[in-house]
Amino acid sequence: MGRGASLAFFWSFRAVGAKRFSLLPRVAPHFPMHGMSERSSLGENGNRDVVRVELGERSYDIRFYWDEPEALARDVAAFCPEGAFVVSNPTIWHLHGERLVRALEVAGIPSCVELIGDGERFKTLETVSRLYDRLIAERYGRRACVVAFGGGVVGDVAGFVAATFMRGVSFIQVPTTVVAMVDSAVGGKTGVDHPRGKNLIGAFWQPRLVAVDLAYLRTLGPNDLHGGFAEVIKYGMIADAEFFAWLEEQMERALALEREALQHVVRRSCEIKAQVVGADERESGLRAILNYGHTFAHAIESCGEYRERQFHGQAVAIGMVAAAETALQLGMFSCGEAERQRSLIERAGLPTRVPEGLCADELLDRMRSDKKVVGGRLRFILPLRIGEVTIRDDVPEEVVVGVLRKLGAK
């Protein structure tokens, strides 16, 4: 989609228990494949490539870079009057931390760094409490700025700390994984997990800036790289059939981190996320479509007790297959389009079956504790066609259990 293009939201109401959503582009999407600078992510006339999240006085930029820590630090400096409280994890810090600290120093930003554990099992109130302790010990006040430097776990935890320390301080996202760049860093959802479910404790707290340096993706391990593409495929399924078709043609180039393809994947995903969040910040309607596949996925993660084999992106991939199969069972979705989704997920190196040993009844029980349950009824985002989804809260539980068992659950 070209710069300045916008999306029109099409809302129509169907039978009781279903709300239908489609994002229809007003202009033909533009897939930039030529002419990008090899030195920076600057657009025409030397301007920084930017996607704007429009939320009134809480609006902010998603800015794109390519191996430019100095430029990124200069942009961060404007929001850090008392310095930066940087939250990261040992893996990311070992790879990129020294360059970031040097860049912050050059930009005149004093920094304090706190590392948290690497993985979903550290997304807890205990971790949050330790970050509070450090903020207080370092005498940060209401002008503090928390900088999340890492993937989704780091961003969710650091954001929740920013939302609650001193009743809310500034927050900046510097995502380093695909899933964080295209999804979790944008939109203001922050929080931690509970033993009974994922993200049950949290707050909406928008960042002041999302600074996306795509070069960080060059050091991702295969699980994180491939897992992030589940969220990318999701955007095609919920909002943009032409983007989905582009992914069918270009998936291998994007996974190989070819710069032009990667830039388009991340930017287009951010455009869709920004439009949805701008229309429905607190998930009262449209934003729920971003949970496509996630009702199943969060149950899979929760039953796996957030062990490393239960990567979020891989769980989302399985969840999207389950959502498509549910829609097939209900007569809402075609076999051909379900196969197109399954094939693209497999080409992205992602699983399409429930991990061995998980029980369908236990997965259903975890879904009942999901934060998306409304009035005791499970809500599912189900596809009508590629690029259009609907919200259903009337799916029979026996259909859900049958789908899970068909995909390998006990």
Active-site residue among 47, 57, 167, 398? 167
Superfamily of domain 1-28+226-246+284-410: Dehydroquinate synthase-like - alpha domain (1.20.1090.10)
167 is catalytic: yes
Active-site residue among 19, 198, 267, 287? 287
For residue range 119-141, list pLDDT tens digits in order.
888 999 999 999 999 999 999 99
Position 21 scores a pLDDT of 53
Burial of 141 by CB count in 10 Å (0-12 exposed, 13-18 middle, 19+ buried)?
exposed
Q: 1-28+226-246+284-410 with 31-220: one CATH topology?
A: no
The answer on pLDDT for 226 being more than 60 is: yes
105 is catalytic: no
45 is catalytic: no
30 is catalytic: no
32 vs 366, higher pLDDT = 366
12-26, 69-83, 256-270, 379-393, range with the lowest pLDDT: 12-26
Extract long-range pairs of 279-282: CB within 8 Å, 24+ residues apart: 279/9, 281/55, 281/187, 281/188, 281/204, 281/206, 282/204
231 is catalytic: yes
291 is catalytic: yes
Amino acid at 14: R
Mean pLDDT of the chain: 87
Q: Hey, where are the domains in the chain?
A: 1-28+226-246+284-410, 31-220
Rounded distance between C-alpha atoms, residue 307 and residue 100, angstroms: 30
For residue range 295-330, list pLDDT tens digits in order.
999 899 888 654 555 588 999 999 999 999 999 999
Indicate the CATH number of 31-220 among 3.40.50.720, 3.30.1490.20, 3.40.50.1970, 3.40.50.2300: 3.40.50.1970
The answer on pLDDT for 41 being more than 70 is: no
